[in-house]
Amino acid sequence: MVLKYPINLHKGLTAFFVIGLMMYYNVYSTGAWIYLALHGSYGFLWLLKDRVFPDRQWEQRVSYGYGIFVFFALALYWLAPWVLISRSHEPSSMMLCLAVALNMIGVMLHYSSDAQKYFTLKYKPGLITEGFFKRCRNTNYLGELMIYTGFALLSGSWIGYIGITGFFIGAFIPNMIKKDKSLSRYPEFEAYKNQSGLLFPKLIP
């Protein structure tokens, strides 16, 4: 099994999962519709991204058991819409505004930086120190963190933060450290590291 298969399946099913929750609990509130629009469209954009500029790290082959584990681990992200809808929680106007803003900025950072990385490495392999990566070495992770934090905000419960907290500790941080170790093979990495932040942009080098 290719690792991207369970990941893409989860992303593609998210909109239908949220619709199913709305139908099961008979909740069609503004918060539920906004959540569906944000998380559902994010999942479909992920599938489009995989077609246009796929991430090579998701192309590795894994066992079927590990693939199933990945799918159910990603299902932790579905706790946010479940809490939101099952409790008929209605986020305040301020929370709706903040969640939408985080999502829009996060999607731009996540997908645009992934596109830059894909096309830059395709035609010019090496260390990327410009554009989205000039001041931040993991702009894509920063964008993803903003996206899922926005989803958690809409849930109105600490339960909604379980997915993003788990993946931030168990996947994001280890992957960022691993990436730094890999990039350290480039002679210019130390200078680049001093001018950029690991996750948040370093505004003053």
Tokens of 28: 């069609």
CB atoms within 10 A of CB 137: 25
Three-state DSSP string of 47-90:
HHHHHHCCCHHHHCECCHHHHHHHHHHHHHHHHHHHHHHHCCCC
Question: Given this model, what pLDDT does residue 205 score?
Answer: 62
Amino acid at 168: F
State how far the Cα of 27 lies from the Cα of 172, in Å rounded to an integer.
33
Q: How confident is the prediction along the chain (205 residues), in pLDDT tens digits per residue?
A: 899 999 999 999 999 999 999 999 999 999 999 999 999 999 999 999 999 999 988 999 999 999 999 999 999 999 999 999 999 999 999 999 999 999 999 999 999 999 999 999 999 999 999 999 999 999 999 999 999 999 999 999 999 999 999 999 999 999 999 999 999 999 999 999 999 999 999 987 6
* Domain boundary assignment for the chain: 4-195
Question: Given this model, what pLDDT does residue 94 score?
Answer: 97
- Supply the DSSP symbol for 172: I
The reported pTM is: 0.94
Q: Could you give the count of Cα atoms lying within 13 Å of 121 in the half-sphere of its Cβ? A: 13
Question: Given this model, what pLDDT does residue 3 score?
Answer: 94
Q: Are 180 and 198 in contact (CB under 8 A)?
A: yes
State how far the Cα of 155 lies from the Cα of 88, in Å rounded to an integer.
10
Closest to 140 in 3D by CA, of 169, 184, 166, 175: 175
Question: Given this model, what pLDDT does residue 203 score?
Answer: 84
CB atoms within 10 A of CB 202: 15
Question: Given this model, what pLDDT does residue 11 score?
Answer: 97
Q: Are 132 and 109 in contact (CB under 8 A)?
A: yes
